[in-house]
Amino acid sequence: MSSRLRASARLSTAVAIVTAYVALHLAISAGLDLRACDRFHDAPARAAAFTAALDQYAAGEMSARAEIRAGDTWFKENAPPGAGRSTVSAATGDVEKGRVSLARERAAGLAADVERDRARLDRKLGSSRATALYWAVPAALLLGVALWLRRQRRSGAAEIISVVSWFALRQPWWQRPLFLLASGAGYVLFAAGFFAVSTAQRRGYTMPPITMVGLLVGGLAAAGAGVLSLRYTRPRAARGAAQALLADGRRPVLYLRSFADDETAAQVDDSSAFVSIHSREEQLTGALGAVGPVITVGRPGEPLPRLGAARFYLPLDDWQPTVLRLMELSQLIVLRLGLGEGLWWEVQQARATQPARKLVLLAPGGLPDLVERLDEYLPTPSGLAEIAGNDPWTGAVITFDAEWTPQVHPVGPVPRAALPRGALLRRGARAVKAGWTVMFMYTPAHHLARAIKDALASVGIRKRTMAWRAIFALQTSLWKGFALVTALALLGWLVGRALQLVGIS
C-alpha cells in the first residue's frame, strides 16, 4: 500500500468514527425526543383534570388541592419547558397564596398551551429523526469505505505477513488485550499527573496553598504510578511484527543490528524539561515510521520483546534465508554496524542483491577497526573515520548512490545559528529558543533521525517528517494519555445519555 493510500485509509477511518459518533448521539437525542412525546401524550387529559380541580377548589372542595399539586408535579416531570408547564406552575403558586381566581384565569388557556407544546415536540421529534438519518447514511457509507480500505491494506501486506507469521512469538490470546487495557490506565495516570503538576507550577500562585500542594503531591503520585504501570505493561502489550504489518499495510523497514546493541538502544534520554519513558529505539522507530513499519529480529530466548521495532524470532541455525527474503520484500534496510560476523554477512548480501539506495548503514563512532572492515566491502573508501561523530551509539549515517559510492552524514546537534542583529531581535530569538527547548527535547535519537532524513534525501528519498516523528515519539505516552482521557470523556457522556434514554439515570 502506498503512503498516499494509507493516509486516505486512515483519514476515512477517522472521519467515519467521528461521523458515527455524531450519528449515534443524534439517534439517542431522537430517542429522548420520542420518549418526551410519549410522556406528554396524556397532557390534554391532565390539563383538563387540573382545570377541573381548580374549579372544584374554587367551589370549596378542599380535597381538590391535592389534585392540583399532583397535576403540577406531573407537568414538572413530563412536560417540556414551555407555556403549559409555566402556566400550571404559576397557577399552583397562586393557589398556595390563596389567589384562586387568578389561578383560574391563568388556566383558562391551558388547553391551547398544551396543544402548542405538543406540536412543538412533534416538530422537534421529526427534525431530530431526519438529522439522525442524514448523519447515519454517510456514517454507514464511510464505515464501508474504511472497511474496504482496511481489507485492501491487509491484502497488500499479505506476502510479507505470511513470512513473518511463521516466526511470531506465541502468546495466549487474552494477554495483549488485557495489558493494552492496563497500559491505557497507565497512560491516563501519567497524563493526569503531568497535567496536575504543570497546573500547580503555572498557576500555583493563584491557588490556596493546600490546593497547590495537593495538586503537586497528587500529580507526582499519579505520574509515578503511571510510569511504573507502563514499564510493566507496555512490553507485554507490544505488537509483534505480523501485527504491525497488518495494522500499517506498507512494505516495512527492515532493521538489522547486533543483539549486543539492544542495551544501548534501550536507554531512555531524559531531562528536567520533560519526563520520558521512551527508549532510543522507540524514537528511531517513530522516525523510520515515515517510511514504513519497522520490523526486526528479536533476541532468541528473551522473556519479553524490546520496545521499538516490532519483533519476530528466527531459529539460530536457519535464519539467513528468511533475512534474505525479507530484504527483498522490504522497502528500506537499516543496518547498524557492529563486530558480529552475522552483520557483515548481511552487509555483503545487501550489497550483492539489493539496490544501492535501499541500504542505510548506521555506524557507531570511535571504532577504527569497523571503518577498515567496512571499506573492504565498498568500491571506494568511505572516509568514515574523518567524518563520523564520537557517539558510541551512532556517529554517522551512510547511504549509497547507484554505483555504491558511500555518502557519509555525521550525527550530532545542529550547529547553532547566529542571532539576529539588534538587542530586541536577539532577546526575541532567545525567548523563542527557550520556549522551543521547553516544548521539545533534542535527544541523540532526534539527531540520528535528522541525519537519516538528510542521508535519504541525498539518494532521492524525501521524508521531511522524520525528525519531528522522533520528537513526538519521545512524548507518545503523554499524548496517548490525553487522547484516552478525551475519548473516555466523550464515551462517558454518550453512555450517560444512553442510560437516560433507557430510564436508568
Q: Tens digits of per-residue pLDDT, 294-333?
A: 999 999 889 899 999 999 999 988 899 999 999 999 999 9
Residue 505, pLDDT score? 57
| Whole-prediction pTM | 0.82
Residue spans of the domains in the chain: they are 3-156, 159-237+476-505, 241-474
From the CA atom positions of the chain, what is the Rg in Å?
A: 33
Cell numbers representing residue 267 in the block: 536507554
pLDDT tens per residue, range 183-229: 999 999 999 999 999 899 888 888 898 999 999 999 999 999 999 99
282, exposed or middle or buried, with CB in 10 Å at 0-12, 13-18, 19+? Answer: buried
Distance between CA atoms of 324 and 327, rounded to whole angstroms?
5
Q: How many CB atoms lie within 10 A of CB 39?
A: 15
Cell numbers representing residue 430 in the block: 532567545
Distance between CA atoms of 50 and 92, rounded to whole angstroms?
10
* Cα 251–Cα 481–Cα 444 angle in degrees, nearest 5: 60
Question: Which distant-in-sequence residues (6+ apart) come within 8 Å of 404 by Cβ?
Answer: 351, 356, 378, 379
Distance between CA atoms of 312 and 238, rounded to whole angstroms?
12
Residue 432, pLDDT score? 44
Cell numbers representing residue 211 in the block: 490546593
Contact in structure between 219 and 196 (CB atoms under 8 Å):
yes
The three-state secondary structure class of 369 is helix
Compute the half-sphere exposure of residue 498: CA atoms within 13 Å on the CB side of its CA: 9
**Which residues are bridge partners to 279 per DSSP?**
268
- Walking along the chain (505 residues) 10 residues at a time, the average pLDDT comes out as 72 91 94 91 92 90 90 92 91 90 89 92 93 93 88 80 88 90 95 92 86 93 94 94 90 94 87 71 95 94 92 92 95 92 93 95 86 89 81 90 92 63 55 46 86 94 91 90 93 92 75
Residue 273, pLDDT score? 46
3-state helix/strand/coil string of 290-343: CCCCEEEECCCCCCCCCCCCEEECCCCCCCHHHHHHHHHHCCEEEEECCCCHHH
Distance between CA atoms of 430 and 419, rounded to whole angstroms?
8
Distance between CA atoms of 206 and 209, rounded to whole angstroms?
9
Question: What is the layout of strands, in order, in the sheet containing 406-410?
Answer: 310-312, 294-297, 253-256, 332-336, 359-363, 396-400, 406-410
Residue 436, pLDDT score? 42
